[in-house]
Amino acid sequence: MKAITSKLPQVGTTIFTVMSALAREHGAINLSQGFPNFDCDSQLKDLVSYYMKKGYNQYPPMIGVEKLRKQIAKKVNTAYGSTVDPMTDITVVAGATQGLFCAMGAFISPGDEVIIIEPAYDSYRPSVEVFGGIPIIYECSAPDYRINWEDFGKLISPKTRLILVNTPHNPTGKCFKREDWKALESLVAGTEILLLSDEVYEHLVFDEEQHQSILGFPELYQRSLAVYSFGKTFHTTGWKVGYIIGPELLMKEFRKVHQFNVFTVHSPTQYALADYLEEASHYEGLANFFQEKRDYFLEQLAHAPFTPIPSEGTYFQLAQYGHLSQENDAEYAKKLTRKYGVAVIPVSAFYSNKRDDKVVRFCFAKTKDLLKQAGERLREVGGSR
């Protein structure tokens, strides 16, 4: 065959893979792709190997190990005041990306409109398109990335099938407030629109604020699926295990797709996570842990010429550089990697139209010594404040 019609003609290799490869090539400190440079708890690793050695090595249930689903239900119902049922409302997934993809597969038909708020995590748009959905983009811009819900409402049409939201938000670090959910609630009231809420950074909300989950809004929950990732919560991004939560009516449809996509998820890891979740302290201290890193990284940045944009959550920090250079952010990110030895993500990668506000994203899920070293290198960057 000489040529093939691509279903995703605009898609190349994800920016996270590209920048991590460039970081390796140039021996740069990798603050680009979002993952910790420190290991997970050895107790968790011991539990996985315990269950592996004990012979928990065959297919677990399609919807996930029962004890794990029960632990998840207990955790979210305590945190968000929800009444999630572990039998009907939770499915264990092979990472949030797979959960999002199957949810879209279950609910998007060709010609359906799906509203995406950009900047957005890079898997959303291609996942919509692969199922024949039409992405409708609501664009937020630097430095405040505010959503004007009145303007947002104008994008809703009789063809709107799904709205995708993400809080805490990658890459901006913005977090939904109660008023945001309430505004969305009145926009979708009386419609058949579904919501897909990406809450993988649920535990990373700073400055004494609480994560506002869609699970805490019963009117919204009845039309929603919410997705989570143990990769983010337990510093195990390489394990690709997460969960998706939604009411029975929607979860039934989700499971129809999930069972023919992966069927189920790595068995010993599920048993290990079920035990590990018994101890709430394993995730309750996360916000403080990462807030300290955010603040430490900001101290380092204070001596560099960038203008940071406040991060309310996630493990990402945005910074503006437009006063230093007129280069587009993709070029500038490469320059920081090659010339100054710190790899970052250009925020244009999170926009369909590659909007360039001259902002780059740093991941601060790193040890203090690495953040300090990165700070020293970033101080060398030319330009003035």
Residues that bind ligand GLN (CB under 6 A): 14, 16, 33-34, 170
User: Between residues 68 and 344, which has the closer beta carbon with respect to ligand GLN?
Assistant: 344
**Which neighbouring-strand residues pair with 320?**
307, 359
Of 105, 135, 173, 242, the one binding ligand PMP (CB under 6 A) is 242
- Select the binding partner of residue 14 from ligand PMP, ligand GLN, none (C-beta < 5 to 8 A, by kind): ligand GLN
Q: What is the smallest separation between the CB atom of 14 and ligand PMP, expressed in angstroms?
A: 10
Q: What are phi and psi of 10, to 5 degrees?
A: -85, -10
**Which residue number, 71 or 236, has a Cβ lying nearer to ligand GLN?**
236
User: For residue 368, how far is the Cα from the chain centroid?
Assistant: 23
Alpha helix positions (H), the chain? 15-26, 42-53, 66-80, 96-107, 124-130, 149-153, 178-188, 218-221, 230-233, 248-261, 267-276, 281-284, 286-301, 329-340, 368-378
Kindly state the smallest distance separating residue 381's Cβ from ligand PMP, in Å: 26
Give the residue from 142, 171, 145, 141 showing the smallest Cα distance to 32. Answer: 171
Q: Say how many residues touch ligand PMP, by CB under 6 A.
A: 15
Q: Which does 197 bind (CB under 5 to 8 A by kind): ligand PMP, ligand GLN, none?
A: none
14 near ligand PMP, rule: CB under 6 A: no
- Per the rule left: phi > 0, alpha: psi between -120 and 50, beta: everything else, 179 is alpha
CB of 26 to ligand GLN, least distance (A): 18
Closest to ligand PMP by CB, 236 vs 337, is 236
Residue span binding ligand PMP (CB under 6 A) among the ranges 37-45, 134-142, 231-239, 335-343:
231-239
Q: List Cα–Cα distances, 164 to 122, 217, 247, in angstroms.
A: 12, 16, 17
Q: Is 198 in the site for ligand PMP (CB under 6 A)?
A: yes
Radius of gyration of the chain (CA): 21
Q: Which does 16 bind (CB under 5 to 8 A by kind): ligand PMP, ligand GLN, none?
A: ligand GLN
Which of 287, 382, 292 lies closest to 339 in space, CA to CA? 382
Q: Is the Cβ of residue 121 or residue 321 nearer to ligand PMP in the bound state?
A: 121
Answer whether 147's CB lies under 8 Å from 174's CB: no
Question: Is 166 among the residues that bind ligand PMP (CB under 6 A)?
Answer: yes
Strand, coil or helix: what is 167? coil
Question: What torsion, rounded to 10 degrees, do the Cα atoms 16, 17, 19, 20 define?
Answer: 110
**Partner that binds at residue 128, options ligand PMP, ligand GLN, none, CB closer than 5 to 8 Å by kind:** none
Q: Footprint of ligand PMP on this chain (CB under 6 A)? A: 34, 95-97, 121, 166, 170, 198, 200, 229, 231-232, 237, 240, 242
